[in-house]
Amino acid sequence: MTERFRLTLAQLNPTVGALAANADKARVAWAEGRAAGADMVALPEMFLTGYQTQDLILKPAFVDEAIAAMMALAADCADGPTLGIGGPWADESGLYNAYWVLSGGQVQARMLKHHLPNDDVFDEVRLFDSGPISGPYRVGPLRIGTPVCEDAWYEDVTETLAETGAEILLVPNGSPYRRDKLDLRMNVTVARVVETGLPLVYLNAVGGQDDQVFDGASFVLNPHGALAVQLPPFDEVVCHVDFAHGPDGWHALPGRRDVPPDVWEQDYHAMVLGLRDYLAKSGFSKVLLGLSGGIDSAIVATIAADALGPENVRCVMLPSEFTSAASLADAADAAGRLGCRLETVSIEGARDAVEAALAPLLAGTRPDVTEENIQSRLRGLMLMALSNKFGEMLLTTGNKSEVAVGYCTIYGDMAGGYNPLKDMYKTRVFETCRWRNREHRPWMKGPAGEVIPPRIIDKPPSAELRPDQKDQDSLPPYEVLDAILERLIEGDQSVAEVVAAGFERAVVSRIEHLVYISEWKRFQSAPGPRLSTRAFWLDRRYPIVNRWRDRS
């Protein structure tokens, strides 16, 4: 008779610090696996504590409580399948990112992460100690090797596991989303499969945590790299995978095969899930935002409606004498198409009061950006007042292009708790609006159809803080600006390299200067979902005070 092994993959969404809630999720998944006749139920890396914990894991009381919760979980899951789950381990030798194998009410094995990532958004070298390379453990008829996340990116761990008798590789992960990450993971894991000749299970967490969104997209590869199972990105899934033993060893039987969506949908889903989880995990269920009639606030309102439902999104138009009739109409049109509440609060009276109060001190000066910023800060003041009064989180709406060069007002339009567009350049905002008008998915809680008025997408962007103002009065065209920014930020190119690509030196030098002098604003900005390889905050860490400029 052919030997069989059933592995239940629990691609689930933990919350950092919610030890009891995360353990309950693990129990439910384990019970589902037991009902399905699973030999083992597996959850992702550091699932019990949530991930990333950052310095929370350095608090001994937290680690002690997590270990106690793990031991209670082992006792509760004694009568049934083996449970694999990520969580911390500490003893006299150090503090470890561990994968626990629980069976029969006992701890059967702990696999300690060996390679600690110290790049990208990760800083595990300062948090954990490196564990030894572990050997495989047995579950029923199968010897399983478990490289923990980063360990699967290095051939020494997987080769050692293969040489010491592992028959499949189970890789638990806490791998956050960024563009093109699915292809990168697949390339790395195929290499491990080819090197070892073993099937590989890639199990990833899902859900938002601060600026990071874990996208799931777990999969199973057979020897020679053939795809047997592909789970969807961004969704919680419990999936049973069957393995059979043949003349050439173990292999996974064909199972669920979801087709990954294109990059536009991945980015959009990441923004929706990131916002939804940031709110839910912070205790908020409603949001508000300033709806200006421009493209950025329109797409943020749409993301919020898709994340929470239009009934939980309050839009506020805050007009001044410079607000055009077209903007008023466009804001009303956008809110109406989404089904969101729209209110109007004029800032004219407040602006007059502030200018009158400052008049003795500003006498003899000419109006400039100071008066423009007063308008923006009054809008931030009023929106924050509504947020405080009604318990609705204020969303900011600045795109990455504006955040990069400081084309935003600190304590004004930057005020708020979360920014869904923080890592999306303006040119991508335009295309994302067009994509959302064409597409609708079951996970979107907002309405289908052309929810963003085409006129908003087509009109020249403007802050409307002075007569006839356009963004391009202060900045290069966005297609030029974004191309330069991508080279300077994502590409880390020198000024000379950007100029060699066909851009004017004076423009490039000015943009580089604006990026550097705006660091202080970004340091105080709201978090937002990471979409690229160089998101502001953890991906790109620059000093606030920096007198160096690239003269190449």
Round to whole Å and give the CA distance between 472 and 491: 24
Amino acid at 275: L
DSSP designation for 210: T
Backbone angles phi, psi at 344, to 5 degrees: -125, 130
Left if phi > 0, otherwise alpha if psi is -120 to 50, otherwise beta: which for 139? beta
The helix (H) or strand (E) run that includes residue 381 is helix 369-390
* Distance in angstroms (rounded) separating the CA atoms of residues 154 and 377: 50
Rounded to whole angstroms, the Cα distance separating 445 from 234 reads 15
Instruction: Judge whether 242 and 252 are in contact, CB under 8 Å.
Output: yes
The helix (H) or strand (E) run that includes residue 387 is helix 369-390
Amino acid identity for residue 291 in this structure: L
On whether the CB atoms of residues 139 and 166 are closer than 8 A, the answer is no
Instruction: Please count the residues of the chain.
Output: 552
Q: Which residue, among 220, 103, 134, has the nearest Cα to 170 in the 3D structure?
A: 220
DSSP-derived 3-state class of residue 35: helix
**Is residue 288 within 8 Å of residue 392, measured between CB atoms?**
yes
Q: Which helix (H) or strand (E) holds 219?
A: strand 219-221
Active site amino acids: 45, 113, 149
Query: What backbone phi and psi angles, to 5 degrees, belong to 285?
Result: -125, -5
Kindly state the tokens that stand for 41. 């139920």
Task: Tell me 83's DSSP state.
Answer: E
Of 46, 44, 49, nearest in space to 22 by CA:
49
Q: Are 267 and 432 in contact (CB under 8 A)?
A: yes
Residue 244 is given by DSSP the state E
DSSP states of 109-153: EEEEP-SPP-STT--GGGT-PPPPPP--EEETTEEEE---GGGGG
